[in-house]
């Protein structure tokens, strides 16, 4: 890190900072400007708490130099991570890497009935999806809303997997649910509201299942990468980053799809990047345009809400596509994918 | 809710909406404008998912009328909730209500050693605090940062409580920690990152300990009240709302203290409102001004980071006050409190 | 608008609202809910100030029903507006409409020298641009930064137009500059910082030149459409809306490209939508990905910063492409355009 | 500034940066870390465009060290600026400085009629105001809303000034209006939407009237200080900074009062800080709490919307106080002011 002293900091104040740097086993490097002195800290200072220095007399600001994540960074691993997702028919979907096809995740927000999820699975498979989504445990803003069917829904998902050969992604909400969800699902989803639920990140980090990590709706890309770092540092390297829209002052759409995050995350990190155009817009009529944009920007896949009968959906119906609209989306996305040398 | 049809919606589209309303057991009420038709839904539609209607043909927007929280609202309970916090010497601190003194919570961000927390407790008590804060379990952005001493720290907190007579507030991060933390602490803190961790909200809702619920840095006031509703609906009525700064585009301060939230929350809800000026500013030199503002705006208490030696703090040192500065804060806050007919 | 009364509003309070509605020549329509009364206002209430009602006793909230803009809306004009831009060689570029090619605006942020703008014009034309951008008057955050060469720069732009046949777009910063800039440029640009500079909007609204209206970095889509309404209501119907990134909490990129705005604006309005990927990302390495996304989402054109020697640029060098990179961008965008049935 | 090289930057890349620094007449200072090289630029680099360096091969980031404003900073001028405002009876109101009383600006949003402004002036004076506010030129989001009575309103304001002895503050919206408004008003207000209207900032900078500069609703504190720098650098040192709420994701209130800005601006700058609790909340019932908070935080004054008959106001009625409520506000603010050693 670099410590910027205030204009007019005394020699004593500068000396104290240097001494503090040396006390924690680093070396200090002074740069005397015309108006201010700048002190560089030499060494791997990732674990050093910068606030120690921010408090010292004469210090104006402390600027970190090293990115706080390591395992998630391109500096650490140059090549794209490719994640093998096992599917219901013994094959695998490969997610990540320019040479591999797109991960096409689709299905209803919540698993409502056995029939609904079986029907959804067949329809999204026919449209071109290779991974089935569906929530068994639902984080809901209101305690009075439908909270998911839990293990029963997991069983239905596994049945749909069996029949269609689709892999299954579903959300896990608490550390103690990880073994249960892992028993049925191919991919563990960590939801946006739980992106900084550290006990949960540690628990999925100890699992052997790939993880779909959703960006918090007001989390920076750096915080998303730090959350991924929690999982990676526990030994699970199969993490997919998911941009699902951020909260801004704009209220016409439910969230603002941060399309910049696609090329930025892919340049900062080797992990695959998935986009959720359903949450990122919140209105079904804009989902397809957002999906095309995501693939054009370089995303490795999409996760889309599709419901056989959206008007009867128990949650998030307004952002769900009908199967017909999802088929249209896949066809349009296929053409855009080819234009950027990817395939569906 | 009110359903606003598009300009030029057909009689058939309007009829379908009316039918759908009647199907879920409500009554529809049409209002034919010059350009648009508006359909009101009559009945308690809190549990109705508005997205069912947003998807229907011819519908432009759906506007909720009833606030989605009930138990947390002033409509439900007119009088200020007063929470009794038991303390180490058998007395109680009363939080909430214009007639009661301010809750003055203070202490280090993290419990680091037995000596540190004992010293902190004595110092903040001498300065005027009545509740001791200190983290045993620490949610940290980086997996490489200090994560807290866990149960050992809880024991030290209990010892400090015993000696000084201060009540203790400390964070609980996962549902399975609730019994352990409840065994030592007088108030369970739910941190900002966990404001929408629903399994945790349910768990503290089933506890008998008062809860300090911090507003998520990305959460609206309505979402904060919905999170409180989760706790209340589980039977625990002793919830304190805590404004601790929100994330905005302004980066000079760590967060933006939403001072408007103080009078707004107090008008929407009967629950006490506490302000955390330390996180809301992120820099110790602005903490005292923010604390004065909070009390002037009508807050029922403050939670402030104080460390006997801030430059050696293991976390958030830059926003911690020295004991001397905290004494100054208390003295200034006391004068402001008197100007708004409250006491310290 | 719809007026939502508080729970428990008295008959007298409701009566007063009804009377007030009738006094301004509208009709009131009551809907008596179980908990609350809702009063609809029947008639064209666009000019009615809702705050009159917000202040009345017993009123909880007032919800507008009609969109506040009219001329800019799809309701008012179903078909896409197509704007003819005259160019230096007597031809025209048509902007807007699925059947027309994309508007490809490119050039340096600021016009620095005659040589620089001539060289830029030749290079961007060769790469595939049809409109030349370049600032003669520069709004700069710092009074100490380069503010533009003014009229001299306009003359150089006109010369470049003459030689290359490109049309010219350049910013106008004050009402009194409109005649001068109109004398040289084919399109008047209103910058993001001036999106709510109403005297300027009125002045360009009285001009006969097409206008490129940039969204303010802090403005909602509705406010952008209201700013367009100012221009349209003065008689100038040739307005292009430009999404150029909004300000959010994310700081890694200079702005956040609101890609959702592309399909949303095109559905709410008949006006063409242009995207500026240079300002929306602020870093040249992400410009091409953002440009591809914009076209995939349905934009009618792009405005891109290109500088023959970006490292010597007097402003915004970091977001400028080299001519080689711009050529690459055009080639990639062409493929994406074809995938969405458009042409470059 | 400090230039942070990428991990693994070559000696050649580093050499090129050093050469570029020396070419613009600065000195380079290298600091070789374990993972990265950092290059400090020695000299007054305020006018240097950092993007020149951001573009160079091997550069990761460029961090500015010097604040970009100078005349507005506390470094430049240690003591509080005190601004003398001439009033209608030949006396002066002093704004700024702990020893001076608070600036109490009040009046209607818009000047509607002669009677309305005369009545307002008498009422706010009786309540304790010393400066009258009222808009003659109104920036309105909609072209169909009331835009102000212009010069006629200025004359009524002058008449109210004459009768009551109050000073007058009113908004100026375009450079060409400055002479006209200066002929009638004691303080020129630059509105939030015009905070980065540079021709206007230059024009008021050349005027001899004190300026009330409102913070843009999505402008950082640094940008506010840069806007002040524009005015100061033109020779007008009498600038008051006005915090009036920023735009955030919270929508319950119209804006979010950034109360942190009060102590921060006062520590970064010597200029007086005024708070506008009316716009910062947007709802009259929260104005008084916000006003108390502002003064407790250290503001030098308030600007409050008061209307003799708010329900009939032509603009912003919902945030206007009745004269009775304003009297209550002044009485409460007076007590808080005394608690922080100020006077009303």
For chain B, the domains span 2-63, 83-339
Give one DSSP letter per residue of B205-257, joined into a string: HTSSS-EEEEPPTT--HHHHHHHHHHHHHTT---EEEEE--B--S--SSSSB-
Q: pLDDT tens for residues A194-203?
A: 999 999 999 9
Report CA-CA distances (Å) from C289 to A74, A100, A260, C259. 19, 19, 8, 12
Distance CA C97, CA C3 (A): 39
Distance CA D231, CA B84 (A): 55
User: pTM for the full model?
Assistant: 0.92
Q: Which residue has the higher pLDDT, C6 or B268?
A: B268
Calculate the average pLDDT of chain C.
92
Chain A positions touching chain C (beta carbons under 8 Å):
218, 220-222, 246, 248-253, 256-264, 267, 280-281, 285-286, 289-290, 292-298, 332, 335-336, 338-340
The per-residue pLDDT for D307 is 94
Q: Do D335 and B332 touch (CB under 8 A)?
A: no
The beta-carbon neighbor of B250 closest among D246, D286, D332 is D246
Name the DSSP class of B102.
P
Distance CA D174, CA D147 (A): 14
Chain B contact probe: residue of C25, C35, C254 with most B CBs at under 10 A: C35
Distance CA D98, CA D96 (A): 7
Q: Which residues of A touch D43 (CB under 8 A)?
A: 33-34
Whether D297 and D284 have beta carbons less than 8 Å apart is answered as no
Q: Do B52 and A313 touch (CB under 8 A)?
A: yes
D184/chain C closest Cα distance in angstroms: 21
Name the DSSP class of A32.
E
Write down the residue that tokens 């809880």 correspond to: B154
Does an H or E element contain A18, and which?
helix A11-23
The per-residue pLDDT for A229 is 96
Distance CA B321, CA B307 (A): 6
Q: Does domain A2-63 have CATH number 3.40.50.2000?
A: no
Q: Do A252 and C222 touch (CB under 8 A)?
A: yes
Largest CA distance in chain A: 76
Q: Do D31 and A42 touch (CB under 8 A)?
A: yes
Chain C contact probe: residue of D23, D52, D143 with most C CBs at under 10 A: D143
Chain B contact probe: residue of A20, A49, A175, A215 with most B CBs at under 10 A: A49
Which of A88, A85, A84 lies closest to A161, judged by CA?
Answer: A88
D33/chain B closest Cα distance in angstroms: 21
Which of B228, B168, B163 lies closest to B198, judged by CA?
Answer: B228
The per-residue pLDDT for A67 is 81
Q: Which residue has the higher pLDDT, C26 or B151?
A: B151
Q: Which residues of C touch D216 (CB under 8 A)?
A: 218
Distance CA B17, CA B10 (A): 11
Instruction: Spell C63-84 as b/e; 16+ CB within 10 A means b.
Output: bebbbbbbbbbebeeeebbebe
Q: Do B217 and A218 touch (CB under 8 A)?
A: yes
Q: Which residue has the higher pLDDT, A37 or A84?
A: A84
Kindly give, in sequence order, each residue whose CB lies less than 8 Å from that of residue A118, ignoring residues fewer than 6 positions away. Answer: A156, A159, A160, A163
Distance CA B303, CA B107 (A): 8
Helices C323-339 and C284-297, axial angle in degrees (round to 10): 20
Which tokens belong to D283? 């709802």
Residue C130 C-alpha from the chain's centroid: 19
Kindly give, in sequence order, each residue whose CB lies less than 8 Å from that of residue C7, ignoring residues fewer than 6 positions away. Answer: B75, C35, C36
Kindly give, in sequence order, each residue whose CB lies less than 8 Å from that of residue D291, ignoring residues fewer than 6 positions away. Answer: D275, D277, D302, D304, D329, D332, D333
Q: Which residues of B touch C248 (CB under 8 A)?
A: 249
CB-based burial of residue A271 (10 Å sphere; 0-12 exposed, 13-18 middle, 19+ buried)? buried
Write down the residue that tokens 């700058």 correspond to: D269
Chain B positions touching chain C (beta carbons under 8 Å):
2, 4, 7, 29, 31-36, 38, 40, 42-44, 63, 65-66, 75, 247-249, 251
The backbone torsions φ and ψ at residue B96, rounded to the nearest 5 degrees and listed phi first, read 100, 155
Instruction: Tell me whether strands B167-171 and B131-133 are parallel, antiparallel or unpaired.
Output: parallel
Q: Do C44 and B34 touch (CB under 8 A)?
A: yes
Distance CA A226, CA D77 (A): 42
CB-based burial of residue B234 (10 Å sphere; 0-12 exposed, 13-18 middle, 19+ buried)? middle
Q: Which residues of C touch B40 (CB under 8 A)?
A: 31, 33, 38, 40
Strand partners, C104: C302
Q: Do C51 and D317 touch (CB under 8 A)?
A: yes
The per-residue pLDDT for D33 is 76
Average pLDDT over residues B132-155: 89
Q: pLDDT tens for residues A141-191?
A: 888 877 889 999 999 999 999 999 999 999 999 999 999 999 999 999 999
The backbone torsions φ and ψ at residue C227, rounded to the nearest 5 degrees and listed phi first, read -65, -40
Q: pLDDT tens for residues B309-340?
A: 887 777 777 889 999 999 999 999 999 999 99
The per-residue pLDDT for D131 is 97
Distance CA A116, CA A214 (A): 25
The per-residue pLDDT for A256 is 97
C219/chain B closest Cα distance in angstroms: 14
Distance CA C163, CA A274 (A): 46
The beta-carbon neighbor of B296 closest among D221, D256, D296 is D296
Q: Is the pLDDT of residue B34 over 80?
A: no
The residue in chain C having the minimum alpha-carbon distance to the alpha carbon of residue B27 is C33
The per-residue pLDDT for B302 is 98
Q: Is the pLDDT of residue C137 over 80?
A: yes
Write down the residue that tokens 């951020």 correspond to: A246
pLDDT band at C102 (very low <50, low <70, confident <90, very high): very high
Largest CA distance in chain B: 76
The per-residue pLDDT for A34 is 73
Q: How many of the other CB atoms lie within 10 Å of CB of A8?
A: 11
The backbone torsions φ and ψ at residue B5, rounded to the nearest 5 degrees and listed phi first, read -80, 155
Q: Which residues of D touch B290 (CB under 8 A)?
A: 259-260, 263, 297
Average pLDDT over residues C203-225: 96
Q: pLDDT tens for residues A75-120?
A: 899 999 999 998 878 889 999 999 999 999 999 999 999 999 999 9
The per-residue pLDDT for D258 is 98
Q: How many of the other CB atoms lie within 10 Å of CB of C324?
A: 11
Chain B contact probe: residue of A20, A45, A60, A141 with most B CBs at under 10 A: A141
The per-residue pLDDT for B214 is 98
Using 70 as the pLDDT threshold, list the residues of chain D that sit under it: none
Distance CA A80, CA A97 (A): 5
Whether D138 and D146 have beta carbons less than 8 Å apart is answered as yes
The per-residue pLDDT for B138 is 86
Distance CA B305, CA D134 (A): 43
Q: What is the SS3 assignment for A160?
A: helix
Calculate the average pLDDT of chain B.
92
Q: Which residues of B touch C36 (CB under 8 A)?
A: 65-66
Which of B111, A260, A270 lies closest to C246, judged by CA?
Answer: A260
Average pLDDT over residues C185-214: 96
Q: Is the pLDDT of residue B277 over 90?
A: yes
The per-residue pLDDT for C72 is 96
Q: Do C31 and B40 touch (CB under 8 A)?
A: yes
The per-residue pLDDT for C209 is 97
C203/chain D closest Cα distance in angstroms: 12
Task: State the distance between the two ends of chain C, measured CA to CA, in whole angstroms.
Answer: 44
Cβ-Cβ contacts under 8 Å between A and B: the total is: 126
Q: Is the pLDDT of residue A257 over 90?
A: yes
Q: Do B66 and C36 touch (CB under 8 A)?
A: yes
What is the length of chain B? 344
Q: Do C249 and A246 touch (CB under 8 A)?
A: yes
Q: Which residue has the higher pLDDT, D290 or C319?
A: D290
Work out the percent of chain A whose per-residue pLDDT is above 70. Answer: 99
Q: Which of A24-38, B200-214, C314-328 is the least confident region?
A: A24-38
Which tokens belong to A199? 């006990």
Instruction: Tell me whether strands D301-305 and A131-133 are parallel, antiparallel or unpaired.
Output: unpaired
Average pLDDT over residues B105-110: 96
Whether B256 and B217 have beta carbons less than 8 Å apart is answered as no
pLDDT band at C7 (very low <50, low <70, confident <90, very high): confident
Which of C198, C191, C23 lies closest to D145, judged by CA?
Answer: C198
pLDDT band at B296 (very low <50, low <70, confident <90, very high): very high
Q: Does domain B83-339 have CATH number 3.20.20.70?
A: yes
A295/chain C closest Cα distance in angstroms: 8
Touching chains, D (3+ CB pairs < 8 A): A, B, C
Whether A3 and A39 have beta carbons less than 8 Å apart is answered as yes
């Amino acid at each position: 890190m670099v410590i910027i002293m205030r204009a007019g900091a005394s020699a004593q104040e500068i000396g104290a900072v240097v001494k503090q740097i040396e006390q924690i086993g680093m070396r200090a490097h002074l740069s005397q400007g015309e108006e201010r002195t700048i002190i560089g800290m030499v060494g791997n200072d990732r674990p050093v708490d910068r606030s120690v220095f921010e408090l010292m007399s004469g210090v104006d600001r402390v600027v970190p130099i090293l990115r706080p994540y390591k395992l998630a960074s391109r500096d650490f691993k140059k090549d794209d991570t490719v994640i093998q997702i096992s599917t219901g028919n013994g094959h695998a979907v490969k997610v990540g890497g320019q040479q591999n096809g797109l991960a096409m995740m689709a299905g209803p927000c919540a698993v409502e009935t056995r029939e609904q999820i079986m029907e959804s699975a067949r329809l999204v498979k026919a449209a071109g999806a290779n991974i089935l989504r569906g929530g068994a445990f639902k984080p809901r803003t209101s305690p009075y809303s439908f909270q998911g069917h839990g293990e029963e829904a997991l069983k239905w998902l596994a049945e749909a997997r069996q029949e269609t050969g689709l892999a299954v992604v579903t959300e896990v909400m608490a550390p103690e649910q990880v073994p249960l969800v892992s028993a049925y699902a191919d991919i563990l989803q960590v939801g946006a509201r739980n992106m900084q639920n550290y006990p949960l990140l540690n628990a999925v980090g100890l699992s052997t299942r790939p993880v779909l990590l959703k960006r918090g709706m007001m989390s920076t890309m750096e915080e998303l990468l730090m959350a991924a770092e929690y999982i990676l540092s526990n030994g699970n390297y199969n993490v997919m980053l998911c941009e699902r829209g951020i909260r801004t002052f704009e209220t016409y759409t439910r969230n603002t799809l941060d399309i910049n995050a696609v090329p930025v995350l892919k340049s900062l990190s080797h992990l695959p990047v998935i986009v959720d155009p359903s949450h990122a817009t919140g209105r079904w009529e804009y989902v397809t345009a957002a999906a095309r944009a995501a693939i054009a920007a370089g995303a490795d896949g999409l996760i889309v809400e599709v419901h056989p009968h959206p008007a009867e959906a128990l949650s998030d119906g307004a952002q769900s596509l009908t199967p017909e609209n999802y088929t249209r989306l896949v066809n349009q996305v296929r053409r855009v994918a080819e234009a950027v040398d990817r395939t569906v």
